[in-house]
Structure 1
């Protein structure tokens, strides 16, 4: 029976950070034990970052519902929480997904480097705990090699920029001594996450606010920032020098009247960067003295210029993945033949050794040199006889010919170990 590779994931693509954080699996060692004990997976690798929680698994008889049930139990969630958030992939789709991950094509910011380190740490942890095996070890090692090739040959990791990092860069260009300023971030979605990451990377402390304290607190634990009450910021903009607004509110949160009132007690100017779509900062605030306003269209235009200059790198990366994917597929299929090949060579060698001992006893006195010549001869004969059919078995397996695997199992009386 063919061993399948699966991937179950909750990522930023379908779930905002405050939702994604709820799917965290907590202690990896305990999570690994639960998945191995209850889901039919014989191998497992868990990848957890602030942008994704992913389970890679291998098994003959895995159970999707049990994977979901086990995950829900570990996260303290109801199973229906997965309905709008969980994505599944199997076999070739998993290989392509992992190649894109290692190459930086599936990150919030194309070419982001941190994900490669996180993937390497995940597979090393799984190897150390002995929860991954030949299938996942081979898959991850090959994918890391391809990802390294993509990054080196295309330069896709150099100069990566997002709406969030561009907004922070603009703030740096317009505000002196930014580390001494009070920075506020409103929102906990994708754009807010990119701003928070960029602020944190540059060492700028900031406050974070959202509609509920729970969201702000969850966001701060995952990405950074000090949570502040939403209502207090709406009436207290005078407490901040730089305000990043990244929400999905259908109305203006930052109004002309609120900023006008803030300036009555504030003795310095304020920079406001609106990353919301639709906009949630009233453009009229730009008319107020001391206010510098940048909106999402202006910021996005600068990011687009950067991305247009990098489109060739992205295309080159995708071409390399397209070229490497069939090679990886063949490698993974070939693994199906290896247990039979190893078993056949082991059985053949056992027979060879047994018959060799009989021959030595029948030949009588032989010196060590003579014994060595005879032993090497028997090894060579056995290997030459078995190499051709075993290599043909491997080739057929690479092409997905499962009938040959089944036939070889019967011919050589091979019984595959179950999970």
Structure 2
């Protein structure tokens, strides 16, 4: 059974998300190592959400309850927040609802800026990280791969495609009320990661050309050379002459003593954990635009999701859930057919059959399996997977344990 625990910008404070982004990933990994019923986990952490996707070994209410409480306890301890506070800011999805949620997230429909472009890459990197850590599972692999495929479909078949929406661009749009002419603005970007690269592209789209990059970890030279921008050797000196600073790094937190009082400056903090301490806003002449402020302005009509995109996500989620429910039955049927096939291939070989005969037998088995496999998926989508299991046992003598919870949920959502 699949579970998703999510704390996101709609239900959790920025402070809580910040704490989760620091401590919770390691805690989720520990669940896979220490809890026998957790067979896989993928963690998605961005500036507007923290989500733990879990593969639970048993589709039982008791296992689900234990899993949720174990995740909450581990995440709360690692993030130094109370379990009650965390529980109040966590939403739990299970079964088909997990697919519907992740597909919407990956398509940018649940982002601060609806349709943002960065989230699909973040989802892909979350799966890759789980593979490297050895925490993913077969069902989670299929879930995340289907999410990426669905995201591409949404972008190609709706007006979200090519809209160039992102949190960075929204932040710069909001900043335009303070920056009268981007072509004359001196901009300092702090950070050299993917978000910093997005920031440089968005700044250029606004017309900015006088851009420097500063890296607390010393990686600015290669980043700057690849983008044709200057390198700032000293943050205080660069900040003293900048008009706008955009921070998106994991390597530093800037405090008030890093800025020159009286110098008019707009600081845009896109980091999570935050890159700019709250006391910076008290420095004379400095205006701070952080994720919390940006989030409050993200409900503009132009950033709302089209109904067509939602419909595509719902269809993809239903298909995935039906495939997941149908999996055990299809596997059982294929196992029975392949056993017969291998016996026939061996018998044919013993009688002198050549490679062409074996290829023909294997092709015939594939053709015979195609129709029943399609029908099993159709019946799963109708919530009739238990009937499929009974039919397989009656006609073929094979047992396929239906994913009862999934089958029931698919039926109710159909």
TM-score normalised by L of structure 1: 0.62
1:395 aligns with 2:392: no
1:52 and 1:344 map into 2 onto residues whose CA distance is: 41
2:248 and 2:315 map into 1 onto residues whose CA distance is: 42
Paired residues of 1:25 and 1:71 also in contact (CA < 8 A) = no
1:326 aligns with 2:318: no
1:103 and 1:68 map into 2 onto residues whose CA distance is: 27
Matches within 5 A, 1:348-367: 348-354=337-343, 357=346, 366-367=351-352
| 1:168 equivalent among 175, 178, 190 | 175
| 1:13 equivalent among 10, 14, 17 | 10
In structure 1, the residue matched to 2:164 is 158
In structure 1, the residue matched to 2:144 is 140
Paired residues of 1:245 and 1:274 also in contact (CA < 8 A) = yes
Paired residues of 1:99 and 1:146 also in contact (CA < 8 A) = yes
Matches within 5 A, 1:140-289: 140-153=144-157, 154=159, 155=161, 157-158=163-164, 164-173=171-180, 177-179=185-187, 226-228=254-256, 238=262, 240-242=263-265
SS in 2 for 1:88: strand
In structure 1, the residue matched to 2:115 is 111
CA deviation string 1:376-401 (max 9, x = no partner): 56556655665544443232112221
TM-superposed deviation, 1:128: 3.8
1:357 and 1:146 map into 2 onto residues whose CA distance is: 42
TM-superposed deviation, 1:146: 2.3
1:37 aligns with 2:34: yes
In structure 1, the residue matched to 2:45 is 48
Paired residues of 1:352 and 1:382 also in contact (CA < 8 A) = yes
CA deviation string 1:191-241 (max 9, x = no partner): xxx9xx97998568899xxxxxxxxxxx99769651228xx99xx953x31
Paired residues of 2:41 and 2:54 also in contact (CA < 8 A) = yes
SS in 2 for 1:43: strand
1:148 and 1:387 map into 2 onto residues whose CA distance is: 27
In structure 1, the residue matched to 2:88 is 84
TM-superposed deviation, 1:11: 1.8
In structure 1, the residue matched to 2:331 is 342
Paired residues of 2:7 and 2:49 also in contact (CA < 8 A) = yes
1:200 and 1:354 map into 2 onto residues whose CA distance is: 61
TM-superposed deviation, 1:49: 1.8
Paired residues of 2:322 and 2:378 also in contact (CA < 8 A) = no
1:150 and 1:80 map into 2 onto residues whose CA distance is: 37
Paired residues of 1:44 and 1:56 also in contact (CA < 8 A) = yes
TM-superposed deviation, 1:20: 1.6
Count of aligned positions = 336
TM-superposed deviation, 1:338: 2.4
SS in 1 for 2:177: helix
- Aligned CA distance change for structure 1 residues 74 and 157 (closer, same or farther; 3 Å): farther
- Aligned CA distance change for structure 1 residues 353 and 368 (closer, same or farther; 3 Å): same
1:174 and 1:355 map into 2 onto residues whose CA distance is: 77
- Aligned CA distance change for structure 1 residues 277 and 105 (closer, same or farther; 3 Å): closer
In structure 2, the residue matched to 1:188 is none
RMSD of equivalent CA atoms? 4.8
2:253 and 2:366 map into 1 onto residues whose CA distance is: 64
In structure 2, the residue matched to 1:96 is 100
Paired residues of 1:245 and 1:275 also in contact (CA < 8 A) = yes
In structure 2, the residue matched to 1:127 is 131
Paired residues of 2:42 and 2:52 also in contact (CA < 8 A) = yes
2:103 and 2:144 map into 1 onto residues whose CA distance is: 9
1:136 and 1:31 map into 2 onto residues whose CA distance is: 15
Paired residues of 2:44 and 2:50 also in contact (CA < 8 A) = yes
SS in 1 for 2:399: coil
Greater C-alpha Rg: 1
- Aligned CA distance change for structure 1 residues 359 and 89 (closer, same or farther; 3 Å): closer
1:277 and 1:405 map into 2 onto residues whose CA distance is: 51
Gap regions ≥5 residues in structure 1: 181-193, 208-218, 247-252, 263-269, 279-295
CA deviation string 1:104-145 (max 9, x = no partner): 222222332222211110112223444323322222222212
Gap regions ≥5 residues in structure 2: 189-194, 204-211, 215-234, 237-246, 270-278, 404-414
